[in-house]
Amino acid sequence: MNWFVLSLVCAYFMSTGEVLSKLLMRENDEWTIGSGIILMSLPFLVPLVIGMDSFPLSQDLIVLIAILIPFEILAYYIYLSAIRIAPLSLCVPYLSFTPVFAILTAALLLQERISPQGFIGILMVTVGAYVLNIERFVHHPLAPLKAIFKSSGSRRMLLVALIWSLTATLGKKGVLLSDPTFFGVFYMLALSIPMAAIAGWRIKRHTTTVNLKGRNLIWLILGGLVTALGMITHFHAIKLAPVSYMIAVKRTGLIFSVLYGGLIFKEEHIRQRLLGTCIMLSGVVILYLA
């Protein structure tokens, strides 16, 4: 399976994970769901490395993961909080900026070049972000642009996009130092420890409520499954393609997120936001072809 197909499959799994996370956060907080989904992904991930002949673990890989974990925890928390407080169809499309930022981080860390077509792609992504808030245009011509900074969910997703552009670039270095499957599993194991510790500390201090019974438990199990599948397809795809290209194709999951927002959460202005998302994805395609 080539990197393009793997990236599309990853896009679907990650988008579905966003929906399950939002459903779960109706009765749970970000730390509970973040750690819960990561822990639930491990039963699906760990068996993938049990039969490996050797574990490509090195000092460089351990140092790299130690650098990655704090950034990943911060981004994951901000990401889940944005999903919780803002409409899915409005905040998630701002993740389209990840490949834009990845062009810069990959250029610095992996010496990837930016082509003239890449700048056109960046412009298209920016225009798409503007159209996402086009319903506010009736108030002021610059209202949609201002809304990007006035909406807390949008601001948070922009920050997540920036952080994830860095972790995606460093993640590729980790894959090149080891193996896509091994790195994905080891990375999730390392990430689960501090995430579970933080969630456990909050529960012990009674600063959060936990409801993972009934349908919530089913959603959590499904969340763990799609997260595991998304993680494995992500690292296998990113090994085969430049970081910005892979992340660009992965962002086609935005279409699923907008559709999920309208169908499941009955969010408004779906037509306008779907149009904005399509424009953003046009820029993503240009970035891919650059």
Residues 76-88 pLDDT 10s: 889 888 878 877 6
Q: Considering the chain, what is the average pLDDT of its residues?
A: 83
Q: What's the chain's length in residues? A: 290
Question: How many domains is the chain built from?
Answer: 1
The pLDDT value given to residue 111: 78
CB-based contact 132:144 (threshold 8 Å): yes
The pLDDT value given to residue 152: 82
Q: How confident is the model at residue 44 (pLDDT cuts 50, 70, 90)?
A: very high
Q: Which domain holds residue 262?
A: 3-289
Residue 223 reports pLDDT greater than 90: yes
In percent, the amount of the chain with pLDDT more than 70 equals 89
Average pLDDT over residues 30-58: 87
Q: How confident is the model at residue 247 (pLDDT cuts 50, 70, 90)?
A: confident
Of the candidate ranges 122-131, 142-151, 168-177, 208-217, the one whose mean pLDDT is the lowest: 142-151
Question: What does pTM read for this prediction?
Answer: 0.81
CB-based contact 9:233 (threshold 8 Å): yes
